Amino acid sequence: MFRILYSDMRKLAHDRGFLATLSVNVFYPLVITLFLMAISQIFYHERLFADQVCFQFQSIAIFLVTAGTLLFTMSEYADGCIRNKIISGAKRSDIFLSAAVMGGFQGVLHSFTGCLTALLIRLLLTGEYQTYTIPEVADYWLITTMACASIGVFTTMLIMIFGGKKASYILGLFIATFMKIMSLSVLDKLYPEKGHCRLTGAKLAVYNFIDRFVPYTQLSFRPHRPFTDYMAGSAGLIILSLVIGLILFNRKELQ
């Protein structure tokens, strides 16, 4: 297990797909910040507050983590790495668990990189936080890290059990896009800009469940639920991904 994990870790350090998404993680918030700073100075003659720009990563985190884990895990099939590992005597369960750890690790790295970029923006380019306290900022990034890790594991599971087929190349990004749209819709229904929430009964219960426990939704809105709900949601997605992945990957026929 540790031998496979070490090999996967070395491969990740040179994986172009993951490094490309990590670069986007850094440059996207910086470009958006500089653009908004110019607009603010030219038209409003005001300095930006940190709240306005320091959480840009959360808006694209779903796609970055999904794309990074998707590209890295698919290359395992394309390069024949998985088949070679099995031929060399590695257990399928160890191969899957190592891949899942790498998926979660990529999510953590993305969140950590996004946090450092936000800190750099806060120190060099913006004013103070206007509506956040320091503990709230720390909680937000911790929740983001848990959500990114769980999404990384979930995406890895999908590719490990569907990899080798053409559909797997679009499955991860399709789910990411769908979940992003769904989470925005859920938040819009639960917290409308005007008036009160009009959901009732079973629909309200389902929407509340998604808002409380689905990690994809946690990246779409400022934290507003108990921290334990977010932790339970991320842990639940990781456990579900591991159980389903281990069962199906052990039965998968490699082509």
Q: Write out the chain's pLDDT in tens, 255 residues.
A: 777 887 888 888 888 889 999 999 999 999 999 998 888 777 777 778 888 888 999 999 999 999 999 888 887 776 667 777 777 777 888 889 999 999 999 999 999 999 999 999 998 888 888 889 889 999 999 999 999 999 999 999 988 888 766 676 678 888 889 988 999 899 899 988 887 888 888 999 999 999 999 999 988 888 999 999 999 999 999 999 999 999 988 887 765
CA distance 97 to 117: 30
Q: Are 138 and 218 in contact (CB under 8 A)?
A: no
- Annotated domain spans of the chain: 2-251
Q: Are the C-beta atoms of residues 105 and 152 closer than 8 Å to each other?
A: yes
- Rounded Cα distance, 176 and 53, in Å: 23
Q: What is the DSSP letter of 195?
A: S
pLDDT at 169: 66
Q: Are 85 and 3 in contact (CB under 8 A)?
A: no
pLDDT at 66: 92
Q: Coil, helix or strand for 45?
A: coil
Cα R_g (the chain), whole angstroms = 20
Task: Supply the pTM of this predicted model.
Answer: 0.91
Query: What pLDDT does residue 37 have?
Result: 85
Query: Tell me, what's the pLDDT at 166?
Result: 64
